């Protein structure tokens, strides 16, 4: 029996009891109507219909008749067909959004949910647990960001992967979302680089106690702030507070957000025909995240933003792995299984025994830094990238102009000394030049003046 029919029976029993007391003179019309919860006029109408038709006059005439606002039967059949063939396993809210957006459906979400449940296509949601006090949101965007990964079969036909999401506590807006094989330090740096480049530096980051976020001496215990991880070191350098969550309930907003993503994203990927990770990440960035934010983001409590603009800071050199190494005798740095050769540098003759830092970026590329100076960049296999550093010219290259000056001085000395020679000396010179094997092109040519000139040139070179 339907609930409306049960309520109608109860109403008729109460009316008969009150009517009997009215007929006995115990109650007047006003008191009888008040006991039934109706007006005096309605009580008179019901009494008149009961006298004329008996109990049949008190029946609700709307029962058994289709409502004028009822969804047509043809539309019901079409909705059931769509859910069974195309939108199978969608929840009621998600299915209703597609009906409104793509199929011009204008009936309510409540009707959609009740209709699916009546057809056995959707189960009723379990009863909610005990009441918990909700933590208030931060009043401004950028005051706190949530970052977490969710492992799920996001793409049909592929193994489970991690979806790394960074969202704002004040607005629920997703700033970054992408798929990776496994959550870790590289995925954290990649997400932070995307967010900080576009939005700026947040005041705090709220995460779980994963090993890439914190070092925890005892499982389930408190984190050790004295031994920061690579992520902790980078956040400290950027001045971002790192907050650790000690239970899933503490990260309720991100957990509820992942429940929505796990329900919607795989189905939307199937509808879009996307089967590769690269295409899925592009679709998430360009299509899904804007639509998700337009649907689920809320307005912040206060106007403005707490993000700090990034000015004059290369975030890629902070949001990366950094490890110290000592340079070997061959000017090479050993990093994992690779040998990184430091090229010649104008900074110093060599870097043997110097302590340097190796930067490993999320993409796998490497760089060697000595203080703030980059000594070389390498690909993920250790091969140098680009041209080596410019080498200063050797001192010998600066001596060439001095040799030319010496030659010019010798020629000037010859020109000055020649007029002061006596006539016999000049005659001896002419006879020497005309002698056999002593021509201008002869390699054995001799001249009486060459010997003293060569001696003076050698002395000048020795002095310089």
DSSP string, 50-115: HHHHGGGGGS-TTTTS--TTPPPHHHHHHHHHHHHHTSTT--HHHHHHHHHHHH---S-HHHHHHH
- Beta partners for 370? 373
Identify whether residues 168 and 286 lie together within a single domain: yes
Identify whether residues 156 and 273 lie together within a single domain: yes
Identify whether residues 166 and 215 lie together within a single domain: yes
Identify whether residues 190 and 92 lie together within a single domain: no
CATH of the domain at 187: 3.30.420.10
Residue 248 lies in a domain: yes
Q: Kindly tell me the sign of the dihedral angle through the C-alpha atoms of 288, 289, 291, 295.
A: positive
pLDDT for res 135: 77
Answer for the pair 238, 205: CB distance below 8 angstroms, yes or no. no
How does strand 145-152 pair with strand 204-207? parallel
Structural domain range at position 365: 320-378
pLDDT for res 71: 82
Identify whether residues 169 and 234 lie together within a single domain: yes
Identify whether residues 235 and 193 lie together within a single domain: yes
Per-residue pLDDT tens for 170-204? Answer: 999 999 999 999 999 999 999 999 999 999 999 99
Residue 393 lies in a domain: no
Averaging pLDDT over each range in 160-174, 368-382, 415-429, 450-464, which range is the top one? Answer: 160-174
Arithmetic mean of pLDDT, 232-246: 92
Per-residue pLDDT tens for 104-149? Answer: 888 889 989 999 998 888 888 777 665 566 778 899 999 999 999 9
pLDDT for res 401: 43
Identify whether residues 150 and 21 lie together within a single domain: no
Identify whether residues 184 and 231 lie together within a single domain: yes
pLDDT for res 69: 74
Residue 430 lies in a domain: no
pLDDT for res 443: 46
Residue 442 lies in a domain: no
pLDDT for res 398: 37
In the predicted structure, residue 32 carries a pLDDT above the cut 80: yes
Identify whether residues 360 and 333 lie together within a single domain: yes
Residue 131 lies in a domain: no
Identify whether residues 267 and 193 lie together within a single domain: yes
Domains in the chain, number: 5
32 vs 444: which has the higher pLDDT: 32
pLDDT for res 66: 67
pLDDT for res 129: 62
Residue 135 lies in a domain: no
Residue 333 lies in a domain: yes
* Nearest CA among 138, 141, 135, 184 for reference residue 164: 184
Q: Using the structure block, give the residue that is written with the tokens 């025994």.
A: 353
Q: What is the C-alpha separation between 152 and 133, in angstroms, rounded?
A: 29
Residue 434 lies in a domain: no
Per-residue pLDDT tens for 312-342? Answer: 888 999 999 999 999 999 999 999 889 999 9
pTM score > 0.95 for this model?
no
Arithmetic mean of pLDDT, 11-15: 82
Identify whether residues 100 and 196 lie together within a single domain: no
Identify whether residues 264 and 211 lie together within a single domain: yes
């Amino acid at each position: 029996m339907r609930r409306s029919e049960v309520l109608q029976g109860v109403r008729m029993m109460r009316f008969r009891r009150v009517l009997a007391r009215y007929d006995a003179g115990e109650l007047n019309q006003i008191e009888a109507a008040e006991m039934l919860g109706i007006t005096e006029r309605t009580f008179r109408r019901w009494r008149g219909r009961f006298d004329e038709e008996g109990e049949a006059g008190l029946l609700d005439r709307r029962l058994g008749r289709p409502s004028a606002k009822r969804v047509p039967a043809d539309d019901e059949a079409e909705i059931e067909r769509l859910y069974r063939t195309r939108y199978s396993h969608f929840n009621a809210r998600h299915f209703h959004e597609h009906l409104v957006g793509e199929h011009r459906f204008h009936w309510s979400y409540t009707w959609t949910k009740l209709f699916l449940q009546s057809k056995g296509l959707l189960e009723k949601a379990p009863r909610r647990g005990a009441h918990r006090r909700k933590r208030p949101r931060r009043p401004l965007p950028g005051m706190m960001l949530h970052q977490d990964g969710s492992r799920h079969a996001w793409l049909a036909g592929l193994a489970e992967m991690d979806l790394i999401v960074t969202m704002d506590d004040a607005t629920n807006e997703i700033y970054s979302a992408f798929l990776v094989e496994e959550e870790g330090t590289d995925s954290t740096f990649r997400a932070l680089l995307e967010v900080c480049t576009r939005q700026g530096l947040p005041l705090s980051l709220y995460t779980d106690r994963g090993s890439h976020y914190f070092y925890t001496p005892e499982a389930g215990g408190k984190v050790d702030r004295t031994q920061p991880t690579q992520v902790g070191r980078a956040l400290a350098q950027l001045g971002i507070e790192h907050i650790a969550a000690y239970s899933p309930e503490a990260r309720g907003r991100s957990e509820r957000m992942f429940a929505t993503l796990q329900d919607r994203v795989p189905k939307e990927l199937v509808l879009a025909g996307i089967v590769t990770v690269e295409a899925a990440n592009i679709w998430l960035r360009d299509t899904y995240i804007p639509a998700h934010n337009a649907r689920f983001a809320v307005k912040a409590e206060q106007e403005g933003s707490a993000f700090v603009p990034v000015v004059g800071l290369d975030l890629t050199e902070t949001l990366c792995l950094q490890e110290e190494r000592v340079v070997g005798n061959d000017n090479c740095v050993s990093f994992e299984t690779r040998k990184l050769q430091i090229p010649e540098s104008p900074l110093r003759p060599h870097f043997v025994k110097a302590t340097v830092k190796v930067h490993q970026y999320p993409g796998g590329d490497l760089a060697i830094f000595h203080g703030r100076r980059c000594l070389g960049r390498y690909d993920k296999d250790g091969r140098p990238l680009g041209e080596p550093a410019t080498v200063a010219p050797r001192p010998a290259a600066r001596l060439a102009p001095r040799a030319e000056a010496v030659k010019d001085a010798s020629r000037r000395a010859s020109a000055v000394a020649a007029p002061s020679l006596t006539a016999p000396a000049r005659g001896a010179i002419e006879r020497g030049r005309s002698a056999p094997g002593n021509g201008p092109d002869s390699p054995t040519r001799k001249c009486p003046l060459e010997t003293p000139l060569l001696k003076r040139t050698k002395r000048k070179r020795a002095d310089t």
